[in-house]
Amino acid sequence: MRAVVAEMSVPRYLLTAAGRPSLLTLRDDAPEPALPAGPGWVVLRPELSGICGSDVAVARAKSSLVLSAFYTARRQILGHETVAVVESTGERVALDPVLSCTQRGFTLCRSCREGRPNVCERQTSPAQGFDAALGGGWGERLVAHESQLHPVGAVPSRRAVLAEPASIALHAAMRWERRGDRAVVIGPGTIGLLLTAALRRLHPDLDITVIGPGSRAAAMGATRTLPSGPQAVEAFGAVLRPRMTRTPILVDGVDVVFDCVASPPTIDLGLHLLRPAGMLVLIGSAGKQKVDWSLVWNRQLTVQGTVNSAPPVMARVVEWLADPSFPADGLVTHVHELDDWEAALATATAGARAGAVKVALRPDPSIPLVT
């Protein structure tokens, strides 16, 4: 089987010393994933599989050392944003990559009983696409449980492959129980744009400001867009100016900030934008970083993390993607075959600098794309 394989046993210092661009290699002899014991497991043949920020972090050996407790596989086949064909039936499906008690055949833990399998208490890996044993969307085959599959019918491939990131975006939007009328989305990448579209569909009258580079936010439902940086705060109104920091504090702050980057500058910006008792939702893969958290206690802010989604959320976004009025066309800007995986990874890493939103791999050109 052909697949792009990540050898996680390569130490970071060797990666740097050898000048290797990533932990990945294209193999023609990757072992085909075997069906696990128990009912309900099927073989999938991917049509398209997206490249997301967590994939880039694995490839560049920049994943959180803390999260290595969950990413335990020494060999990984990435690709968790996948639209595929079920080999035995020919049905087209979007993959929900979350692996929880249901798929493993365990008695449901508390989180799974409460309908939150995305934070299953028995997770040994955070999602499918991070273990070669089950395979991933960057290979010609992978295996998945029937409970992870969402039929997509005739939804075009370039829309259907967005089901997983769109479900993350909707799940993030639902972390905020609306209190107020002003929202900010930082980072108009794939998740940020889909989050903007989800917020607009959930709250037609919401004032949504998108901060960051790019020209697509208005089409996704943004009320306005602003450039990145501390100066964005002043566009909202009156500010307080700390004596020794660059970023002013918005007096009449916004109600919620969705940070789809989660770097020190964007977290800092979000905290300075929020009103007292506002909420900062972290969607980007924040890691170890230095941030001044004093506004969290001074303004009694809520910092909410969010990850993956639950099955009803993905089912909902699949319905949205089947609706031509949901603005997902054009978000998949680049499609590469496996032989071009290095170019695909470079483009995904460059993001807006390369004119890219979502970059996808096409593992098997013999499987036709639906247009």
3-state DSSP of 295-352:
HHHHCCCEEEECCCCCHHHHHHHHHHHHCCCCCCCCCEEEEEEHHHHHHHHHHHHHHH
pLDDT value for 115:
92
pLDDT mean over 113-132:
84
pLDDT value for 14:
45
pLDDT mean over 199-226:
96
Question: Is residue 180 scored above 70 in pLDDT?
Answer: yes
Question: Is residue 96 scored above 50 in pLDDT?
Answer: yes
Q: Do the Cβ atoms of 273 and 259 come closer than 8 Å?
A: no
Question: Is residue 78 scored above 70 in pLDDT?
Answer: yes
pLDDT mean over 227-253:
93
pLDDT value for 72:
73
Higher-confidence position of 294 and 11: 294
Question: Is residue 13 scored above 60 in pLDDT?
Answer: no
Query: Domain limits of the chain?
Result: 3-166+309-362, 176-305
Higher-confidence position of 9 and 275: 275
pLDDT value for 21:
55
Q: How do 92-95 and 149-151 pair as beta strands?
A: antiparallel
pLDDT value for 75:
86
Q: What percent of the chain has pLDDT over 90?
A: 77
pLDDT value for 254:
98
Using 50, 70 and 90 to split pLDDT, how confident is the model at 167? very high
Using 50, 70 and 90 to split pLDDT, how confident is the model at 57? confident
pLDDT value for 15:
47
pLDDT mean over 192-216:
96
Q: Do the Cβ atoms of 346 and 12 come closer than 8 Å?
A: no
Cα–Cα distance, 279 to 130 (Å, whole number): 31
Question: Is residue 329 scored above 70 in pLDDT?
Answer: yes
Using 50, 70 and 90 to split pLDDT, how confident is the model at 189? very high
Q: What is the pTM of this model?
A: 0.94
Higher-confidence position of 199 and 22: 199
pLDDT value for 54:
86
pLDDT mean over 76-101:
96
Question: Is residue 217 scored above 60 in pLDDT?
Answer: yes
C-alpha triplet 167, 349, 286: angle, nearest 5°: 60
| Cβ contacts of 238-241, under 8 Å, gap ≥ 24 | none
Cα–Cα distance, 106 to 98 (Å, whole number): 15
Higher-confidence position of 245 and 267: 267
Average predicted confidence (pLDDT) for the chain: 92
Question: Is residue 223 scored above 90 in pLDDT?
Answer: yes
At the fourth CATH level, the homologous superfamily of domain 3-166+309-362 is Medium-chain alcohol dehydrogenases, catalytic domain (3.90.180.10)
Same fold? 3-166+309-362, 176-305: no
Give residue-wise pLDDT tens across range 37-49: 889 999 999 999 9
- Least confident stretch, 9-13, 59-63, 220-224, 286-290: 9-13
pLDDT value for 284:
80
Buried b / exposed e across 302-338, counting CB within 10 Å, b at 16+? Answer: ebeebebbbbebbbbbbebbeeeebbbeebbbbbbeb
Q: What is the CATH number of domain 176-305?
A: 3.40.50.720
pLDDT value for 19:
46
pLDDT value for 7:
82
pLDDT value for 124:
64
